[in-house]
Amino acid sequence: MEKRFWNEYQKEIADDHYFYERSCIRQTFFPGSEAAFLRILRDELGKDICDNPHQHTCTGIGYHSDVVPFETTMTVVARLFSLMTECGYENYVPSCVTSFGVFSEVLEKWEHNPALMDQARQYLWEATKREFKTPKNIVHPSDVIYKFRFELKPRMKYQLINRYTGQPLRVVEHIGCHYAKIFPDRGIGKAEFPYVLAGMIEAWGGTVIDYPERRHCCGFGFRQYLIQENRGYSIANTKKKFQSMEPYEPDFILTNCPGCNMFLDKWQYTIAEMEHKTYDKEGYGIPVLTYEELTGLLLGYDPWTLGLQLHQVQCEPLLNKIGIVYKPDEKYKGISGRLLPRPERPECLRQD
């Protein structure tokens, strides 16, 4: 049998009692994902997870764009830890790969230089009169879903099988640079053999595409993106990935990080607008899902409650392939039951 190197490296993932920290951009662009994660943990797995309303940014985007100094980041992180401590939790779960990288970096620095931690304690005390303990376990939400992927499977209504052909769906996975490239031992399978998303795909019936640019950046890159004139570099990275995955004809892309999800999804529209090119055969674009959305879909959650209508590349062809039942006329129905205005349709991307 082929040797699976990732097997050699697994990380410790707490069993229960998590403190959840929400992502800044995920709330805006893929708003159903975090609600789905909480529902999966509470209703499907019966876990205890705290969703504290007093949380805030981790400063990640500002920090990696060189506008927020490390001392500020450290103090903001210390405040988040103080919320966790106040609620009586020890297992920290930040809903974003960037945050996960920031927390790992801060903790690593404190470990090697305890004077920095004292400094953060002092800043936090002076600013807020708060105190904190460091978490015992810090994992990304995808790690938690990965850990319980086989427990979730029997509860799932659908599998990653193409119902027209009976073949496993072909999936591109993207774990995001800050998940395992900064501190390889914090990611399942380390940076070279990332298995966190691949493990879910394989467990739920799909196959993972191992294409040449699999480990390449999604194109976010923080600073490259923030200045409009520099976005050509950002989109060039994303294009490189699409060109590399195109011959393998993926059915969809699964992402780990809110930023990657946004760029792999929305840049498809921009490239189509600029170069009249899509990377699927039919001109729809390749659907991009978060791992929470995928888990929710397979569990039978309503695609519109999961917020799939807010993606740039529309997901109906994928839903049809899996055989997911959905109501097309409820796509733009708000929570109140009232129909919301339909968004403008781009001419360069096909939609049904």
Partner 1 sequence: MKNFGFTISTGRSINLDEIREENISKLLEMVPSYKWCIGCGGCTATCSAGAFTNFNIRKIHNSFVRGQYQGLDKELQQCMLCGKCLLVCPRGVNTRSLIVNMRRILAGVEANTFKGKEVIQ
* Residues engaged in binding partner 1 (CB under 8 A): 228-233, 235-236, 239-240, 270-271, 273-275
Closer by beta carbon to partner 1, 207 or else 270: 270
CB of 297 to partner 1, least distance (A): 32
Q: How far apart are the C-alpha atoms of 283 and 292, rounded to whole Å? A: 26
Compute the C-alpha angle 168/171/177, nearest 5°.
Answer: 155
Identify whether the C-beta of residue 310 lies closer than 8 Å to the C-beta of residue 31.
yes
Q: How far apart are the C-alpha atoms of 263 and 222, rounded to whole Å? A: 11
Cα–Cα nearest to 172, from 256, 92, 110: 256
CB of 218 to partner 1, least distance (A): 15
Cα–Cα nearest to 314, from 256, 249, 268: 268
CB of 275 to partner 1, least distance (A): 7
Closer by beta carbon to partner 1, 110 or else 225: 225
CB of 254 to partner 1, least distance (A): 24
In degrees rounded to 5, what are phi and psi of residue 165? -110, -20
Closer by beta carbon to partner 1, 7 or else 230: 230
CB of 312 to partner 1, least distance (A): 14
Closer by beta carbon to partner 1, 165 or else 228: 228
Closer by beta carbon to partner 1, 167 or else 230: 230
Q: Which residues make Cβ contacts (< 8 Å) with residue 141, sequence separation at least 6?
A: 20, 37, 93, 94, 95, 291, 292
Q: How far apart are the C-alpha atoms of 250 and 351, rounded to whole Å? A: 18
Closer by beta carbon to partner 1, 130 or else 240: 240
Q: Give, as one character, the DSSP assignment of residue 164.
A: T
Q: What residues pair up with 268 in beta bridges, in sequence order?
A: none
Q: Name the 3-class secondary structure at 119.
A: helix
CB of 232 to partner 1, least distance (A): 4
CB of 266 to partner 1, least distance (A): 12
Compute the C-alpha angle 120/121/126, nearest 5°.
Answer: 100
Q: Give, as one character, the DSSP assignment of residue 7.
A: G
CB of 248 to partner 1, least distance (A): 20
From residue 6, alpha-carbon distances to 108, 117, 238, 325 in Å are 23, 33, 26, 35
Closer by beta carbon to partner 1, 109 or else 240: 240
Closer by beta carbon to partner 1, 274 or else 325: 274
Closer by beta carbon to partner 1, 37 or else 263: 263
In degrees rounded to 5, what are phi and psi of residue 271? -65, -40
CB of 286 to partner 1, least distance (A): 18
Q: How far apart are the C-alpha atoms of 16 and 18, rounded to whole Å? A: 6
Other Cβ atoms within 10 Å of 48 Cβ, number: 12
